[in-house]
Amino acid sequence: MSDGATTPELLVEQRGPVLWLTLQREERRNAINHAVLARMMQAIDAAQGDRALRAIVVTGCGTRAFCAGADLQSAQAFVSDYSEPYASLALLLRRARASNLPLVARVNGACMAGGMGLLAMCDLAVASSHAVFGLPEVKVGVFPAQVLSVLQHLIPRRRLAELCLTGEPLTAAQALEYGLVNYVDDDLDAKLDWLLQRLLDKSPAAIRRGLYTMKKIEAMPFEESVAFTESQIALFTLTEDAKEGQQAFQQKRKPQWKGR
């Protein structure tokens, strides 16, 4: 998989049960372009059918930047074809939303503009203590429109409005306070590995169906949500993992997950 989807600007590699997507444009502070977004989307799509994979890590190379957003040196930084109703970043956000594998952001440096979209599309996030975050689009005469779709339910509205309207950055400590990231640590990779291990020893079937359930109910009114979830719980119990988990608990042993 890593050979087929890797490009000079996006490294796609499997490390055990984890797929790593690494932006490789360090000289451009890992800014994204249409080709990078398309490759990332393809990799996330392909990963859904690979039962050997348990999680996807999204990160940038180096230590300066996770992702600085759109490459403003490009004449088509924001739109590639005005006749096409679907934009590249929006398509990637849709694919991430449909993913039943957990996406984990490894924020190794500056996370700005479209980079905030990559961060927010992930289910979990760990940041280096030197990382900075922001939505500076107003400083170049545009607005962080697409990323609002994934940020609006992640942080409080007044915090979000301040970020969008002033363009001023946040420290890693503020990002943690706002709920943008789960953890901030000087040893980024040790904390990431700690978090991944807490995922990888759990039931793949429960996580796969659980993410599906979580994402489906986010926009539902209460009655629709509770009706959907009460039908889902019975399906959870029918999986082989659910039966194994209950037997392991009763027998006081570690479960042997099959992912089915």
Q: Which sequence spans correspond to the domains of the chain?
A: 2-200, 204-251
Indicate the pairing of strand 110-112 with strand 55-60. unpaired
pTM of the model: 0.91
Taking the C-alpha atoms of residue 79 and residue 84, their distance in angstroms, rounded to an integer, is 9
Task: Identify whether the C-beta of residue 80 lies closer than 8 Å to the C-beta of residue 34.
Answer: yes
End-to-end alpha-carbon separation of the chain, Å?
22
176-222 tens-digit pLDDT: 999 999 999 999 999 999 999 999 999 999 999 999 999 999 989 99
Q: Which fold has domain 2-200?
A: 2-enoyl-CoA Hydratase; Chain A, domain 1 (3.90.226)
To the nearest 10 degrees (0 to 180), the angle between helices 114-121 and 88-98 is 10
User: Per residue of the chain (260 residues), what is the pLDDT tens digit?
Assistant: 444 466 789 999 999 999 999 999 888 889 999 889 999 999 999 999 999 999 999 999 999 999 999 876 655 555 566 667 778 899 999 999 999 999 999 999 999 999 999 999 999 999 999 999 999 999 989 999 899 999 999 999 999 999 999 999 999 999 999 999 999 999 999 999 999 999 999 999 999 999 999 999 998 999 999 999 998 988 888 898 889 898 989 999 999 988 89
